Amino acid sequence: MQVPANFEYAKATTVEEALALLARHGDEARVVAGGHSLIPMMKLRLARPEALIDINDVAELSRIRVEGDALCVGALVRHAELLGSAVAGEHFPILHDAERVIADPVVRNRGTVGGSLCQADPSEDLSAAFAALRATAVIKGPDGERTVPVREFHTGPYETVVEAGELLTEVRVPIRPGGSSAYVKVERRAGDWPLAAAGAVLRLADGRIAEAGIGLTAVRAEHFFAAEAEDALRGAVPSEELFAEAGRIAAAHCDPGSDQRGPADYKRHLAGELTIRALRRAYERCMP
Amino acid sequence: MSGNGQHGFGRVPRKEDARFIRGQGNYVDDIKLPGMLYGAVLRSPHAHARLVSVDTAAAEAHPQVRAVITGETLAGLDLAWMPTLSGDVQAVLATDKVRFQGQEVAFVVADSHYAARDALELIDVDYEALPPVIDARTALDDGAPVIRDDLEGRGDNHIFDWEAGDAAATDRVFDGAEVVVAQDVLYPRVHPAPLETCGIVADMDKVTGKLTVHTTTQAPHAHRTVYALVAGLPEHKIRVVSPDIGGGFGNKVGIYPGYVCAIVGSIVTGRPVKWMEDRSENLMTTSFARDYHMRGEIAATRDGRVRGLRVTVLADHGAFNGTAQPTKFPAGFFHVFTGSYDIEAAHCAVTGVYTNKAPGGVAYACSFRITEAAYLVERMMDMLAAELDLDPAELRLRNLLRAEQFPYSTATGWEYDSGDYPRTLRKALDIAGYDKLRAEQADRRERGELMGIGISFFTEAVGAGPRKHMDILGLGMADGAELRVHPTGKAVLRISVQTQGQGHETTFAQIVAHELGIPVDDVEVVHGDTDQTPFGLGTYGSRSTPVSGAATAVVARKVRERARIVAGAMLEAAPGDLEWTPGRWTVRGDPSSGATMQEIAMAAHGSLELPDGVEGHLDATTVYNPPNLTYPFGAYIAVVDVDPGTGKVAVRRFVAVDDCGVRINPMIVEGQVHGGLADGVGMALMQVMAFDEDGNHLGASFMDYLLPTSMECPSWELGETVTPSPHHPLGAKGVGESATVGSPAAIVNAVVDALAPYGVRHADMPLTPANVWRVIQGRPFRTDLAIP
């Protein structure tokens, strides 16, 4: 068994308490929720936080609810809970598509939405899904609450705008009528990280695409979305040719690297192919 | 309980499961002894480097550290090097150089596992990096760095050349052949990856001088003897206990440096020392499998009559030659590569080389390299079928050995015991609905869909082996068995083989029940403790049922014959006048006059006057030396769908018709087949231990080295034919590795078949989405090297 180096441990039951603990333990403290990324990294001694602030008992962060015209997903919502949420699935099929292929049931039972975003793995599925949805992250800190678009949330691999002493509390997804969404992923095996994955969100009006969101992961798309492909879609009449063009653009504008999952050009190819498939499926779902 | 109409045989629920499904198994890591300390191994980050210095002062100053052992410490005890199973030596802890990434450099013994791990970071090692040899294909190049400069007079990385078959006769066949097809075929380095990693609790009792080791071993008796030979400890003062084992697959045959370090740690500290590998250590440093770079050539007539096979192999054995195989066969049983076909002439030449990779080899359910052999010949058969534009099923039917040819002597010196191959293949084709599948494939191809159908027909050679031909480190491969029958007729069987999930406690009880006519529940099977069981070489190479199963049948028959004599005394009849019905000796012609095994057992222990020369009791022992190997076989058919846009392969169906002779417990046989088929999916589609140019291991966790899940496995469609082995007392042949041997070729053949519209004739494993896409692109690449 791999074992981590020494660390302090403290448990919070409220957001305030969590923030106070973060303040007390300083820069080298890390928040632990599901722990499915952080704990393995600690066991491999790739991560060595001096303190873990456990937020698993912060019940207020575990809710999924509709508030106004947004779906609010608490940071502590487990993957399995999001997958099981009828209201999330009704408004955003992309979230159920993505959750169905994130890791395995054991991880989904424990891993959290907030943890996934804050871990900021360049292959994270939810980062792409929420980017496609133009969701907003709610961050609390000693100076109160601030909101950041998910499209600005990630500042690099394993880096986010969440500062030391701050806590991601919620993700808000705007609910808009007249559209649908989808997420498509290719992995080497069930439960594996994606070779590439794409999410598509379409809002239709008068037979045209009023707004499009394309999320990409594992292919080094800047901030997990494909702005140029979205531009090509916006205002256009949906068609196979249009989706193919969007796929070409999305592929051209990502910057995947080679690793044992596959060479860069294959991943670039996938970015295009999966963009097309996600658009196709989202569009099919728009049909009554 | 009866199965196949035979007392004792049948689908008996596994005796082992009661404890396992309750979470009450007892594995090495569950063992906690009073005063036990914990060990951890410091490993090399380099694949090849000179060891300049090892500074342990800070680690030794750690308040919870009890000992720090280095190569220098061990050299003082003459234990820095240990013999491998292949006549080479392997460093226990490095003294001069490190030769693969993850090699053992130092061992810390501490009060807790955490402290031991922390202390590793306090050891300061100075390395001088050397250029590594990573690609076996360059290992023999002029000027290649010499890895084994520790060996006297060694100027290159060559280990051995070995050949089998008649080279001249084979060349003649090829020279006159109408059709010859050649292909480079890689069977990449993979890993057995048992869910329980390897480990040990070493306990040297300084008062009695007795060393007890609780360890993850598939071969407890062989380990005991090797410890005696390595450490110079008297063998009667060594007890090896192998408790419940969480999977072996060959990974737990050999002795690892960590075991030796833990034993030394216990000797040095006077306390028990536990060492359990973590997952990365298991994947990076313990016995890998395969790593065979093969070139196959097949010669045939235009009408599809195979005439010859010629194979050259470059075998990557890593930094130390530590493969586990019978001494006479440095390439294992690879020379069974003529497979299931009637082939006039065949020849193989194998060259083994050192590289800067982990040692070991052969491991992983391969029956001593038969996996590689079966894969090669089945790939070559499909290559030939494509060349001749002949259906691969038809090509096989034209060349399979016919029932009347058995016993069959192959061109490379094997004598197959029994078989009816065409019957088995036809059965698989029937179950699959082969003709309909081909029609569906044609329809789908019209629509641009990629569907493939792959066939593999394999012949296994298991149950090593006849002691005249087979030994490991000089230990013959015969197995003992000991059977006691208590006065009330309950029996205790003691065997040398060690279950790692195969269900020995059930199957072997069934054999005794079958032979003595007593209930299966009345038989206890004792195994995994060298103080309690007779000598034998252990469980690997599918040898348990062929060898120890035979020993069990033989010893039970001895007991039964002894019972006949006692029954004769009881019934006042000549033993020769008695006849056996399961569980009872009766007087011939008077079925009412008889004695049950239970009555006989009580009488044998009682005051009944026994005939002269009969000592009393019923207990017996035996040693079984198999006259030949057994040759299970099977026909497998895989149906796959390939997504042309992503390269992703889905195995839609898999038909497996196995003939392993008589099935003692068909449920256990099917479970073994299920597991092996899943293994096959893993190797064919996702597994490889690749290395980058610096020798970094690119598969050191289960995020990088993938095990298949139920999501990748179709609902297996199993069938059976039964061709008993003529020389095994029960007609059984063994089945543990059949599916692992046979299934990868079926899946690869199916994928290549699916890709035929692109002109693809071959693709190396693993067929990951990226690799399939690259094959479709027509790009040459190596699956075993880092993706550039």
Spell out the domains of chain A, with CATH numbers in brackets.
8-54 (3.30.43.10), 61-174 (3.30.465.10), 179-286 (3.30.390.50)
Measured distance CA(A201)–CA(A183) in Å, rounded? 9
For A81-97, write each residue's pLDDT tens digit: 999 999 999 999 999 99
The pLDDT, as a whole number, for residue A186 is: 98
The pLDDT, as a whole number, for residue B404 is: 97
A189 to B706: CB separation less than 8 angstroms, yes or no: yes
Whether the CB-CB separation of A138 and A170 falls below 8 Å is answered with yes
Measured distance CA(A247)–CA(A278) in Å, rounded? 10
Average confidence (pLDDT) per 10 residues, chain B, 788 residues: 71 96 97 98 98 98 98 96 93 98 98 98 98 98 97 95 98 98 98 97 96 97 92 93 96 95 97 97 96 98 98 98 90 96 98 96 83 98 98 98 98 97 98 98 98 98 93 92 98 96 96 98 98 96 96 98 96 96 96 96 94 89 98 98 98 98 98 97 97 96 95 98 98 96 98 98 98 96 94
DSSP-based helix, strand, coil % in chain B, nearest 5: 30, 25, 45
Please tell us whether the domain made up of B2-22+478-624 is placed in CATH 3.30.365.10: yes
Strand partners, B295: B184, B312
B690 to A192: CB separation less than 8 angstroms, yes or no: no
Half-sphere exposure of B786 (CA within 13 A, CB side): 13
DSSP type of residue B256: -
Measured distance CA(A148)–CA(A135) in Å, rounded? 9
* Alpha helix ranges (H) inside chain A: 15-25, 38-43, 79-84, 86-91, 93-100, 105-110, 113-119, 125-132, 227-233, 240-252, 264-286
Measured distance CA(B377)–CA(B395) in Å, rounded? 13
DSSP type of residue A56: T
Greatest Cα pair distance in chain B: 86
Q: Give the architecture (CATH level 2) of B132-399.
A: 2-Layer Sandwich (3.30)
Shortest CA distance from B690: residue in chain A: A260
Shortest CA distance from B689: residue in chain A: A260
- Best probe of the B interface among A3, A37, A46, by most B CBs < 10 A, is A3
Is the interface score ipTM higher than 0.90? yes
Residues of chain A with C-beta less than 8 angstroms from the C-beta of B699: 260
Shortest CA distance from B768: residue in chain A: A188
Measured distance CA(B691)–CA(B137) in Å, rounded? 14
List CB contacts of B162: < 8 A, sequence separation 6 or more. B329, B330, B331, B349, B350, B351, B352
Measured distance CA(B546)–CA(B764) in Å, rounded? 33
Sequence-separated contacts (24+) of B89-94 with Cβ below 8 Å = B89/B150, B89/B320, B90/B257, B90/B320, B90/B322, B90/B359, B91/B257, B91/B320, B92/B257, B92/B260, B92/B261, B93/B69, B93/B257, B93/B261, B94/B44, B94/B51
- Best probe of the B interface among A36, A44, A45, A188, by most B CBs < 10 A, is A188
Task: Tell me how close the Cα of B239 comes to any Cα of chain A, in angstroms.
Answer: 26
Whether the CB-CB separation of B733 and B546 falls below 8 Å is answered with yes
Residues of chain A with C-beta less than 8 angstroms from the C-beta of B647: 266
DSSP B25-77: --BGGG---TT-EEEEEEE-S-SSEEEEEEE-HHHHHSTTEEEEEEHHHHHHT
The pLDDT, as a whole number, for residue B4 is: 53
Residues of chain B with C-beta less than 8 angstroms from the C-beta of A277: 645
The pLDDT, as a whole number, for residue B2 is: 40
On the question of a common fold for B2-22+478-624 and B132-399, the answer reads yes
DSSP type of residue B545: I
Strand partners, B475: B472
pLDDT in tens, chain A (288 residues): 899 999 999 999 999 999 999 999 999 999 999 999 999 999 999 999 999 999 999 999 999 999 999 999 999 999 999 999 999 999 999 999 999 999 999 999 999 999 999 999 999 999 999 999 999 999 999 999 999 999 999 999 999 999 999 999 999 999 999 999 999 999 999 999 999 999 999 999 999 999 999 999 999 999 999 999 999 999 999 999 999 999 999 999 999 999 999 999 999 999 999 999 999 999 999 987
A192 to B114: CB separation less than 8 angstroms, yes or no: no
Q: Which residues of A touch B (CB under 8 A)?
A: 1-3, 5-6, 44-45, 104, 186, 188-193, 195, 258-263, 266, 269-270, 273-274, 277
- Facing B770 at nearest CB: one of A2, A266, A273: A266
Residues of chain B with C-beta less than 8 angstroms from the C-beta of A186: 646, 648, 769
The pLDDT, as a whole number, for residue A56 is: 98
What CA–CA distances, in Å, run from B349 to B185, B318, B339, B379, B391? Answer: 15, 19, 16, 18, 30
The pair of three-digit structure tokens given for residue A180, joined into one six-digit string: 């649908």
- Residue boundaries of the structural domains of chain B: 2-22+478-624, 132-399
The pair of three-digit structure tokens given for residue B403, joined into one six-digit string: 């029932």
The pLDDT, as a whole number, for residue A42 is: 96
Task: Tell me how close the Cα of B316 comes to any Cα of chain A, in angstroms.
Answer: 21
- At residue B291's C-alpha, the angle toward residues B539 and B249, to 5°, is 20
- At residue B70's C-alpha, the angle toward residues B134 and B47, to 5°, is 10
A2 to B646: CB separation less than 8 angstroms, yes or no: no
- Facing B769 at nearest CB: one of A190, A195, A258: A195
SS3 assignment for B83-144: ECCCCCEEECCCCCEECCCCCEEEEEEECCHHHHHHHHCCCEEEEEECCCCCCHHHCCCCCC
Shortest CA distance from A1: residue in chain B: B278
- Facing B711 at nearest CB: one of A45, A190, A269: A190
Measured distance CA(B458)–CA(B750) in Å, rounded? 16
Host H or E run for residue B393 = helix B392-399
B26 torsion bin: left (phi>0), alpha (psi -120 to 50), beta (else)? beta
- Nearest by Cα to B557 from B512, B520, B597, B592: B512
Residues of chain A with C-beta less than 8 angstroms from the C-beta of B770: 195, 261-263, 266
Whether the CB-CB separation of A205 and A253 falls below 8 Å is answered with no
User: Order of strands, edge to edge, in the sheet holding B649-659?
Assistant: B450-459, B633-642, B649-659, B717-720
pTM of the predicted structure, to 2 decimals: 0.97
A104 to B699: CB separation less than 8 angstroms, yes or no: no
Contact pairs from chain A to chain B, CB under 8 Å: 74
- Facing A270 at nearest CB: one of B113, B646, B703: B646
B787 to A262: CB separation less than 8 angstroms, yes or no: yes
Give chain A's count of helices (H) and strands (E). 11, 13
